[in-house]
Copies of this chain bind each other. A is one copy, B any other.
């Protein structure tokens, strides 16, 4: 049996730590030109902020159990105050990081962070009103829904759109990294990946949702419904003379009002899906279609089968 000392530790640990430290410092030297380490936005803090904001918008569903009307008002006031101030600090850090090296490190980013978060706060009632239309759309779009309350506390599509509408506002106000972080937190929980830049109209509903991807410059009208694994993406192969990918600019689809897109459909490029169109499952679409289109696969994929010849 080994002695105590034999399993006490890892004798070469000091060297490993030193190597990791050198890698870290080399990498920091490349990233931060002035040699100072800025505070980074915090994933944990951002998760908590977003949870708090969702609870402020729907306190009876995401807040503490058994809130009364009075308690809800108090909870919202307190929670908003807390989460907005925490958000302000995270926005300040993003501004600091974005300004990396462009100033002498002494600029106080707090006033700008305050303005951004103040404007964000002003937008919250409008965001809640939009989300109410999303809830109703989900309730109406899925007869399996037993009540509006059920939609709020269990539908992943709603979870994703709540976070998207918050993230989109941050994106518009000049905090794109935080907005992205919020999107990725929702992506991890729901499998739905909506870039915070995407513009989405009222009454939006995603059913099932796993594998949905919506790109940065997508524009989605009112009362649009998507199913799982739908991609609203950019076309590939836009490279410049040197072979590097060209991005930026409007490169994702425009989906007009009242469109339904079924599971697995792929819609690519700056094309327009006309109002009221229906895009079938697994469709691959790279050009615009007019209003009222009904697009299905050219032919079924499963013509070839043999009877009675199983494994």
Contacts and interface: CB of A to CB of B under 8 A. Distances in A.
B37 A69 contact: yes
Contacts of A241: none
Given A12-B122, A237-B311, A239-B311, 8 more contacts: A9-B81, A10-B70, A21-B76, A154-B184, A211-B211, A264-B266, A289-B305, A295-B304
A27 B146 contact: no
Contact of A301 (B105, B283, B303): B283
Contact of A308 (B64, B68, B291, B309): B291
Given A4-B36, A193-B208, A228-B193, A284 B310 contact: no
Interface string A215-226: 010000000000
A173 interface: no
Given A74-B76, A147-B177, A276 B310 contact: yes
State how many copies of this chain the complex holds.
Answer: 6
B149 A97 contact: yes
A97 B193 CA distance: 32
B304 A292 contact: no
Nearest to A128: B23
Contacts of A6: 114
Contacts of A247: 143-144
Given A43-B153, A81-B10, A36 B308 contact: no
B77 A70 contact: yes
Interface residues of A, number: 161
Interface in A23-61: 23-25, 27, 31, 35-45, 56-57, 59-61
A230 to B, nearest CB: 11
Contacts of A304: 295-299
Interface string A265-280: 0101000000011111
A262 to B, nearest CB: 6
A302 interface: yes
Contacts of A168: none
Contacts of A248: 143
A104 to B, nearest CB: 8
A5 B81 CA distance: 15
Contacts of A243: 311
Interface string A1-22: 1111111111011101101110
Contacts of A250: none
B121 A13 contact: yes
26 contacts: A1-B1, A4-B39, A9-B85, A12-B118, A12-B121, A20-B125, A20-B128, A21-B76, A24-B128, A39-B66, A40-B153, A64-B82, A68-B81, A98-B146, A143-B245, A144-B195, A150-B177, A156-B187, A191-B210, A210-B210, A213-B228, A231-B263, A278-B311, A289-B305, A294-B305, A299-B304
